[in-house]
Amino acid sequence: MKANEITIYINNKQYKVQKGQTVMQAADSLGYHIPRLCYHPKLSIEGACRVCIVEVEGAKSFVASCAAPVVDGMRIHTNTKAIRQARRDIVELILDNHPQDCHTCERDGNCELQRLSASMGISKRFFEGERKHYEEDHSSKSVVRNPNKCILCGRCVRMCSQIQKVTNLGLAGRGFETVVMPAFEQGMEDSVCVNCGQCINICPTAAFLEQGHSEAVFDILSDDSVVKVVNVAPSVRAAIGESFGLEAGTNCEGQIFASLRKLGFDYVFDTNFTADLTIMEEAAELVERITTGGVLPMITSCSPGWVKCLEQFHPDMVAHLSTCKSPMSMAGAIIKTYFAGKIGVDPKHIVNVGVMPCTAKKYEAARPEMNTDGNISTDYSLTTRELAWMIKSAGIDFVNIKPEEPDNPIGLSTGAGVIFGATGGVMEAAIRTAYYMITGKEMGEVKVEAVRGFEGIKEATLDINDMEIRVAVAHGLGNAAKLMSIVKKHPERYHFIEIMACPGGCIGGGGQPYPMTNSIPLDEKSLAKRASALYNSDDANELRRSHENPFIKTLYDEFLGEPLSEKSHRLLHTHYQRREPNGIIPKEIEPLSA
Amino acid sequence: MSCNDCNKVGDPRYDELKLYIDSLRDKPHFESYLIAVLHRAQELFGYLSEETMNYVSCDMNIPTAQIWGVATFYHFFNLTKQGKHTVSVCMGTACYVKGAADVLETLKKELGVEIGETSDDGIFTLGEARCVGACGLAPVMMIDDEIYGDLTADKVISIIKKYREEAKGAA
């Protein structure tokens, strides 16, 4: 017998397993999927829901398999009559004070609780309990909180504090009156919520949802008095297929553009183009900061969740944020000026919709700093989930539709634009163009492998014209907090930092499709598949560098002049502010324990 | 408020709270003293205000959402300003049968508050109690540590008047 190997019995079958695992982990590896609810592999063990109980011979009561370690000689039963009954009762008790309004619920059909109930065989109800009657919190531009649907599994609370280190959500009160809420029962809008939407992703029910704009967009689409324009973010194409039952990482770019035309948009644009534009400005800004002794490290500002996080938790670092607007807000600015001029329409009569993997983009769209000459740049920001719903609701056959191309001049993009959607992508794209701006030559190898992948913090050192450029990338705000504490201790260590609020970058955004039945939120395998869709698209593109995009060249020739020109500054750059939301501002956010 | 304001509050009670927090700082699992710190804060201020919880959050580096969770979990913590006197109406079985609900209604009207609230003049906080062990006197109420029994609406009003006059006389 190998060291660390022990013998256990599951359902009377003998197995050799590694010591130090939980019963659930061992069972998972042996092909027994024990039902679960409050458990998540990325979060601490809560042991709150008791759905994952198993029978262990000799134990005086049922054992929560998520928390119990395997022991040599353990005899475990996962599917006896008694355990099935107990589990069924537990789930029914959870359903007891649940609204049970599945047919009018946004998560009908992709609700974990609904699936669990079905798998328990709950077809007849034995208990009826008192329901919850709380007010829904619609104060936030991004995230709706509905405690009536909450089953108190606490996954959002742990997500918010352990992965994102924002700790906006907590469990308040006790017993039946326990509610997940921000401190002081304040609205999400006034709280330290950064709008990342990861609570929505991780929630098994509909206790958190995005602030929906799909009905408003349907209304606009039937309004003939306005020009309807849409732009689609890079990572949406890598994930939306999952809403239609396609494998994660299926690139649905062409189907999206075709569907948007069928929905009634007059001009269908690609945010990848303005990702290229962002790179032109951001790389130029970086080169300027490095060569003229500007504030370093420069930190990316495309992720609106991260921007708010920095503004409120690291207000002393505001000057480090790149002044560049995000690709979405740059798209809005160009659509309502350059493009409006090209089609000869008053920008007031253009409605611009962004399709984003993100809930915080709704907040960004509403920030007055993003306005263009007094006009709102992005009138509506939809999540990937909302667009998927609109396509279904309009009866468009997404899976079988003939793929189409986006419209120019805000359509054609390079491989550098599309990789924005994965963690490290903005960094890699910026390096490709910054190299050219500094040396006048193209990089030999366009791939910057060191900044790819799902390591929490990635670092790379580049040699550009005998100049050592040190960069770092973090994704997920917990990793960002860790990186910020390094930067505060060693302000000279990096020149350029990319931070994305969501784990995996935009591909793991708070507005992306709910996981399919066979996977879990934040599943790294799914995220990796989504990322590979973007990297494959980069590989397949003849143009790999933002500055090679012919329409970018035309835009500068015809309209902007050059990167960082006066016009670029007016339209494509902005400023950020210190924020003091009501609630916590801890002096420093403790680094995650390794 | 933010951390930068922590030392600017200018209230000696915060100095005292800070002294207490500092005395715990080197203990293992410093953050586990949160409940003790909140107790001390309530002793000093009479209740836990948002300002006080923000202060504790900054000084102990514990997010307010977690402090709020603890403060709302334990009934001992008051989240609103307490009156000079706490009036508790016994809602135990004997008192209830003998008309505790009417006593409570009278008090609500007389003080202009709901349960858990403090009267505008800051003198009374109204509360409920379970059996206080004086069933022979039902219905009863307690004002601070004093028990008043065989209550009627008129009797309740005259007791409240007495406390009110005393409080005003003292002020």
Which of B62, B67, B69 has the CB atom closest to A171's CB atom?
B69
Round the average pLDDT of chain B to a whole number and report it: 91
Say yes or no to pLDDT of B6 above 70: no
Predicted local distance difference test score (pLDDT) of residue A245: 93
Over the stretch A524-540, which tens digit does the pLDDT of each residue have? 899 999 999 999 999 99
Say yes or no to pLDDT of B139 above 50: yes
Do the domains spanning A143-210 and A214-572 agree at the CATH topology level? no
Over the stretch B148-161, which tens digit does the pLDDT of each residue have? 999 999 999 999 99
Q: Kindly state the tokens that stand for A498.
A: 């990319």
- Band the pLDDT of A92: cuts 50, 70, 90: very high
Q: Give the nearest chain B residue to A160 (CA atoms).
A: B65
A585 CB within 8 Å of a chain B CB: yes
- Picking from A159, A584, A588, A590 by the largest number of B CB atoms within 10 A of its own CB, the best residue to mutate is A584
Say yes or no to pLDDT of B5 above 90: no
Over the stretch B41-58, which tens digit does the pLDDT of each residue have? 999 998 999 999 999 998
For residue B104, with 0-12 CB atoms within 10 Å meaning exposed, 13-18 middle and 19 or more buried, which class applies? buried
Say yes or no to pLDDT of A583 above 80: no
Say yes or no to pLDDT of B76 above 70: yes
The domain defined by A5-79 folds into Ubiquitin-like (UB roll) (3.10.20)
Instruction: Enumerate the residues of chain B whose CB falls inside 8 A of the CB of residue A585.
Output: 2-3, 58
Say yes or no to pLDDT of A590 above 70: no
Q: Are B128 and B91 in contact (CB under 8 A)?
A: yes
A586 CB within 8 Å of a chain B CB: yes
Strands (DSSP E) contained in B96-171 are 124-129, 141-143, 146-148
Q: How many CB pairs under 8 A join A and B?
A: 63
- Average pLDDT in the A83-92 region? 95
| Marked catalytic residue, from A46, A242, A253, A285 | A285
Q: Kindly state the tokens that stand for A552.
A: 């970018």
Q: Do A584 and B64 touch (CB under 8 A)?
A: yes
Whether A142 is a known active-site residue: answer no
CA nearest to A181, candidates B71, B51, B46, B45: B71
Over the stretch A28-74, which tens digit does the pLDDT of each residue have? 999 999 999 999 999 999 999 999 999 999 999 999 999 999 999 99
At the top level of CATH, the class of A214-572 is alpha beta
Q: Are A485 and A591 in contact (CB under 8 A)?
A: yes
Predicted local distance difference test score (pLDDT) of residue A524: 87
Query: A178-191: string of b/e by CB count within 10 Å (b at 16+)?
Result: bbbbbbbebbbbeb
Say yes or no to pLDDT of A585 above 60: no
Give percent of chain A above pLDDT 70.
97
Give percent of chain A above pLDDT 90.
90
- Average pLDDT in the A193-218 region? 96
The domain defined by A143-210 folds into Alpha-Beta Plaits (3.30.70)
Residue carrying structure tokens 């419209």: A407
Whether A252 is a known active-site residue: answer no
Determine the distance in angstroms separating the CA of A334 from the nearest CA of chain B, rounded to an integer.
38
C-alpha span between B166 and A141 (Å, rounded)? 52
Predicted local distance difference test score (pLDDT) of residue A421: 96
- The residues, any chain, with a CB within 8 Å of residue B41's CB and separated by 6 or more, are B17, B48, B52, B56
Residue carrying structure tokens 């994704």: A475
Which of A184, A582, A584 has the CB atom closest to B63's CB atom?
A584
Predicted local distance difference test score (pLDDT) of residue A1: 59
Q: Give the nearest chain B residue to A158 (CA atoms).
A: B66
Whether A369 is a known active-site residue: answer yes
Predicted local distance difference test score (pLDDT) of residue A540: 96
| Marked catalytic residue, from A210, A281, A364, A428 | A364
Over the stretch A63-78, which tens digit does the pLDDT of each residue have? 999 999 999 999 999 9
B48 CB within 8 Å of a chain A CB: no
Whether A285 is a known active-site residue: answer yes
C-alpha span between A584 and B56 (Å, rounded)? 10
Predicted local distance difference test score (pLDDT) of residue A564: 97
Q: Kindly state the tokens that stand for A547.
A: 């500055």
Predicted local distance difference test score (pLDDT) of residue B28: 95
CA atoms A452, A204, A385, A224: torsion sign? negative
Predicted local distance difference test score (pLDDT) of residue A592: 35
A176 CB within 8 Å of a chain B CB: no
B58 CB within 8 Å of a chain A CB: yes
Q: Kindly state the tokens that stand for B137.
A: 């006197």
- Average pLDDT in the A119-132 region? 87
C-alpha span between A373 and B131 (Å, rounded)? 69
- The residues, any chain, with a CB within 8 Å of residue A513's CB and separated by 6 or more, are A239, A240, A242, A243, A384, A385, A388
A584 CB within 8 Å of a chain B CB: yes
Predicted local distance difference test score (pLDDT) of residue A581: 66
Q: Count of CB atoms within 10 A of residue A579's CB?
A: 17
Q: Give the nearest chain B residue to A183 (CA atoms).
A: B65
B29 CB within 8 Å of a chain A CB: no
Q: Do A585 and B61 touch (CB under 8 A)?
A: no
Determine the distance in angstroms separating the CA of B5 from the nearest CA of chain A, rounded to an integer.
11
C-alpha span between B113 and B128 (Å, rounded)? 13
Over the stretch A181-195, which tens digit does the pLDDT of each residue have? 999 999 999 999 999
Q: Are A59 and A70 in contact (CB under 8 A)?
A: no
- Average pLDDT in the A256-284 region? 98
- Average pLDDT in the A299-316 region? 95
Q: Do B65 and A173 touch (CB under 8 A)?
A: no
C-alpha span between B137 and B149 (Å, rounded)? 5
CA atoms A288, A290, A292, A293: torsion sign? positive
Predicted local distance difference test score (pLDDT) of residue A457: 97
Predicted local distance difference test score (pLDDT) of residue A522: 79
Say yes or no to pLDDT of A131 above 80: yes
Q: Do A587 and B61 touch (CB under 8 A)?
A: yes
Q: Give the nearest chain B residue to A590 (CA atoms).
A: B61
- Band the pLDDT of A204: cuts 50, 70, 90: very high
Which of B58, B66, B68 has the CB atom closest to A184's CB atom?
B68
A323: amino acid identity, one letter: T
Q: Do A184 and B53 touch (CB under 8 A)?
A: yes
Segments making up each domain of chain A, as ranges: 5-79, 143-210, 214-572
A130 CB within 8 Å of a chain B CB: no
C-alpha span between A96 and A55 (Å, rounded)? 24
CA nearest to A204, candidates A151, A132, A136: A151
- Band the pLDDT of A415: cuts 50, 70, 90: very high
Whether A282 is a known active-site residue: answer yes
**String of DSSP letters for A513-551:** PPPPTTS-TT-HHHHHHHHHHHHHHHHH-S--SGGG-HH
Beta bridge partners of A515: none
C-alpha span between A432 and A296 (Å, rounded)? 19
Q: Are A503 and A23 in contact (CB under 8 A)?
A: no
Say yes or no to pLDDT of A591 above 50: no
Question: Bigger pLDDT: B22 or A588?
Answer: B22
Predicted local distance difference test score (pLDDT) of residue A593: 36
Over the stretch A486-534, which tens digit does the pLDDT of each residue have? 999 999 999 999 999 999 999 999 999 998 765 677 788 999 999 999 9
A588 CB within 8 Å of a chain B CB: yes
Q: What ipTM does this complex have?
A: 0.89
Strands (DSSP E) contained in A155-224 are 169-172, 179-182, 208-210
CA distances from A45 to A42, A52, A68, A91 (A): 9, 12, 10, 19
CA nearest to A357, candidates A304, A398, A430: A304
Q: Give the nearest chain B residue to A191 (CA atoms).
A: B65
Which numeric CATH code is attached to B85-170? Answer: 3.40.30.10
Q: Are B153 and B106 in contact (CB under 8 A)?
A: yes
Round the average pLDDT of chain A to a whole number and report it: 94
Segments making up each domain of chain B, as ranges: 3-73, 85-170
Determine the distance in angstroms separating the CA of B58 from the nearest CA of chain A, rounded to an integer.
5
Q: Do B68 and A183 touch (CB under 8 A)?
A: yes
